[in-house]
Every structure is written in C-alpha cells, then in structure tokens.
Amino acid sequence: MQAATIAETMENAVRHHQGGHLRQAEQLYRLVLQSDPNHPSALHLLGAIAYQRKQYHAALELIGKAIAGNRRIPQFHNTLGAVLKAVGKFEEAIAAYEEAVLLNPTYAEAYYNMGNALQSQGRYDPAVEKYKQAVSLKPDYAEAYNNMAIVQQMQGRHAEAIQNCSQAIRLKPNYAEAYNTRASALQMQGQHAKAIEYYKRTLLLKPDYAEAHVNLGMTLLLTGKFVEGWAEYQWRRYTKKAIYPHRYEMPRWDGSPFPEKKLFVHYEQGLGDNLQFVRYLPKVKARGGTVIFEVKKSLLGLLRGFPGIDELVEASFNVKPTVEFDFYTSLLDLPRIFGTTLETIPAEVPYLYADPRKVEYWRNKLAEDGFKVGIVWAGSAKHSNDRWRSCVLKRFAPLAKIDGVRLYGLQKGKAAEQVKELTGKMSLMNLADELNDFTDTAGVIENLDLVISVDTAVLHLAGAMGKPVWALLPFAADWRWMLNRDDSPWYPTMRLFRQRRSGNWDDVFQRVTDELKTITGKQSVRTRTFEHRNIKNGVVDLV
C-alpha cells in the first residue's frame, strides 16, 4: 500500500471510529498494519478500540507498541493512562498523563484525566488542582467543572461545588450529569426541596439516568415521601455500582400469593441493609410456599431459625447460587412490594435474638460492675459516604471518664487498630478479636446496657434486638434516618444524635456525654436508694 493510500485509509478509519462504527474502523486499521506493521497511529487507535471494548490487555499491548514506535505523541500517553486507570493502576496512569502534559503543556484533557485518577485514589486536593489546570487551558470544559464539583462535594465544600455545577450548566445547558451533581450538593447542604427539583430537571434531560433516579428516590425517602421514593429507588439495579452481582431469567416476584412455589430472596448492598429489611420475611412467608433467603456468611448463624425463612443460602459475589426457584426478588424491594409508608413500617422489636449460649459466655466474660456501653466508631471504608459517617475512637474518650461507665469496643476491621494508639490513655476493653460473626456480636450486645455507634451494621443489630442504642449521625445522614427527628420509625429503642453542622462531631459527643452522665447519675441514685432501703430492712445480699 502506497503512503498516500495509507493516509487515505487512516482518514477513512478515523471517520468510522468517530462515528462509533468500531468494526469498520478496526478493519481499516488492520489493513494499514498489513502494509506497515509498526504504524504508530494505527496501533494507537486499534488500542483505543480495544479499550472501548474493555479488552484492556490487548489495549495495553497495542498502545505500548505505538509508544515504542513514537514516544513524542502526547495522545498515546493519554490513552495509555486511561487504560491503566481502568485496570486500577492509578500511579502508572498518573505517570502516563504526566508524560502527556510534559510533551504538550497545554493538553487540557490529560490534566482532566489526571484529576480523575487522583479522585479515584481519594487524593482530592491535587485532583481539584488538575481540574483547575484543565479549565484554565480550556475555559469551556464543562466536564472538568462538573468533576471538580464532585470532588469538592466529597470534601464538604458544597458552596464551591454548586458554583462549579452552575458554570458547567452555563457552558452546556443540557448537561444532565451536572444537574445531578448540583442536586447532590444541595442535598448535602440540607436543601432537600431544591435537590428534588434539580433531580427532576436532570431526568427531564435524561429520562433513563439511573443514578439520578436513585438519588431522587433516596431524597424522597429521606423526606418521608415513601411511595414515590420506593418507586424511584428501584432504579438502583440499573446503576453502574454493583449492588448485587447476579442476574436471573426467572420472573421477579410482584407480591402475589405463591402457594406451593419457591421464592428466592437475595441480599444486596451492606450488612446493615440486610439486618434492617429481614423483618419483612415473615410477611413474605405469609403469602406463599417456600422462602429461600441468600445472605452473606457473617449473618448465616444469626438468621438460622428466623421466622419466614425456610432455607438459608450463603451468598457469593463470584458464584451464582445453584438453588431452584419459581420467582425471585431483592430484600430491599420488599418495602415497595408491601406498600410501606411511614405509618405502616413493621417496627415490632425485637425481631433478632442472640444465641443463649453466646449470651451466657459473654455474661461471664463481662462480669465486672458498671454501666456497660458498647461502641463502634467506623463503618466500611468502601461506603461512598464513609468519610462523613465515621469518626475516630478518641472521640469517645470523654465517655470513658464518666463514673461507673465501662466501654467495650465492638469495632472490626482496620479501624480497630486505633485502640493501640490509645493504650494507657483511655479505658476500653476491645472485643474485636473475639467477634467472629454476628452471633458473637449479638451475644455481647445482649449483655450491654447501651450501644453507641456511628451508622454501621452493629447499629442495626442493636436496634433489631430491641436494645437501647444511640446512633451518631453526620449532618447529611442516610435516607433511612429521615430528617429533623431524634428517634427512628424503624427502631423504637433507638435515639439519634445528629450533627448540627457538617463535619462537627464535637457538638454530637458533647450531647452524648451529657446524656450518658444524666442516665448513669439517675441509675446511681436509684441504686443507692435501693441499697439504703435493703440495709435498713436488714437485707445483707444486695441485688
């Protein structure tokens, strides 16, 4: 093939590529490579097609060959960075983007992509700086403004996030993603009515935008509009985030009676979600035959013998369950199926119980006197809102100083290591190493006077067991805790202690400390009065 013919073929291939006709473009790129096996641009663009098809290994090989043929083309390094980011090699991706801007300091897209990679690492300040560099080079870069706003929202800089969303929308008036980001920032500021308005505007622009539907649903639920909220919340199964890994060909259950049939109910999302909504399974069982419930391993022991479950199946993210069934549904679809409103929440507690043998074991283990309080200070680091909902152990230090209070750590995971940092500085018995699953945690909770926790599965477990439990909530709390109330319609024995300003745990812990002093002080007075009365009556053995 002559040079002129190669150039024409490449031009034709790029037109197909830009038009989304990947198969035709690939054929033409390969035709060029038959004549010139080391043609850098053909290798690079063939690698780009592999990237678009998520064939990342092939993409890396092809782009690597392109760069070997000509290292001076910044676009090659930019595309390499995108592939490396896709496979989770963020540092290598950033290095590739840095090489691109070294070759072309005005390459706005490479700065933007670098910001995205830094954001994926949780490196928010440098990510914002890269987005700022991108928009300084390309003032009409709406996507960079929007992503900058997303990061600023994660940082709690909501006013700046809203401003950058307005800028993205001005540049691109039909930019649905920017409307969604603005709505989310408004919600985080507590402007829920405006957030709902912007989510609805988003959906006018992009009716099938699953993330916006879910965000709208959660905001509606947060504000008590349950019927509309449950309907929007169904869109969660169509989002990019994997709430449940498997798909089934069998029909979804619509709530109809199913006598002599089998219904498969699968878990989804976090452990706390499953502890909260397992309460619906007796209602499910009342409508039909066999109920099979799939749940994560750590909850199997706790749910054995639970009313409404005929068969428990251990969940696996990688392997689809082999059980046979006629219908299926998600556990978190049940509130919608049963038409749950604020007035009809099935809030009878307890509905979860500790194993009596575990209760006895921990009764002996925690035999010391005092007002026993279990504490949890951090949730899963994978949760999108964890940096706001979790705190640090040292926040609980004032509670340990209250006369008569005994603190017990129920924290699992990496956050449990904070106990070592406070050795000798804070009185706390950490039980993490002995808590193998939730049967152990339930056994401990049954022997406690109170549980105080941030938004975690332990919080739900204590509430489901009907134990006194205090929830420590961020300013923009999860939808299930609703708004402007210090109680929970889901858990009658729970009290909510909310941040009054975003990120301000000081006020929360001051109120918790004061309240704990009050109730332990009252208990102390009652105990002294009782002891005095018994001694006066000649009773030696004090109860």
| The pLDDT of residue 357 is above 90 | yes
Peptide bond into 350 cis (omega under 30): yes
Q: How confident is the model at residue 537 (pLDDT cuts 50, 70, 90)?
A: very low
Helix (H) or strand (E) holding 44: helix 40-52
pLDDT at 58: 97
| The pLDDT of residue 526 is above 90 | no
Q: How confident is the model at residue 10 (pLDDT cuts 50, 70, 90)?
A: very high
- Digit-coded pLDDT (tens) for 142-175: 999 999 999 999 998 999 999 999 999 999 999 9
Closest C-alpha among 48, 87, 82 to residue 66: 48
Least confident of 56-70, 149-163, 355-369, 514-528: 514-528
What integer best gives the mean pLDDT of the chain?
93
CB 97 within 8 A of CB 114: yes
Closest C-alpha among 289, 285, 331, 335 to residue 306: 285
| Cα 241 off chain centre by | 9
Q: 302: which 2 tokens?
A: 């706790």
Q: 211: which 2 tokens?
A: 């993330």
Q: 83: which 2 tokens?
A: 């592939």
Contact partners, residue 157, CB within 8 Å, separation at least 6 = none
- Digit-coded pLDDT (tens) for 460-519: 999 999 999 999 999 999 999 999 999 999 999 999 999 999 899 999 999 999 999 999
pLDDT at 531: 42
Q: What is the pTM of this model?
A: 0.90
pLDDT at 4: 67
| Average pLDDT of the segment spanning 425-439 | 93
Domains and CATH numbers, the chain: 3-238 (1.25.40.10), 258-344 (3.40.50), 356-513 (3.40.50.2000)
| Cα 98 off chain centre by | 31
Beta bridge pairs of residue 266:
294, 330
Q: How confident is the model at residue 540 (pLDDT cuts 50, 70, 90)?
A: very low
3-class DSSP state of 21: coil
Helix (H) or strand (E) holding 472: strand 469-473
Q: How confident is the model at residue 242 (pLDDT cuts 50, 70, 90)?
A: confident
- Per-position b or e across 344-356, b if 16+ CB within 10 A of its CB: ebbeebebbebbe
| Average pLDDT of the segment spanning 131-151 | 98
| The pLDDT of residue 292 is above 60 | yes
Q: What is the C-alpha radius of gyration for the chain, rounded to an integer number of angstroms?
A: 28
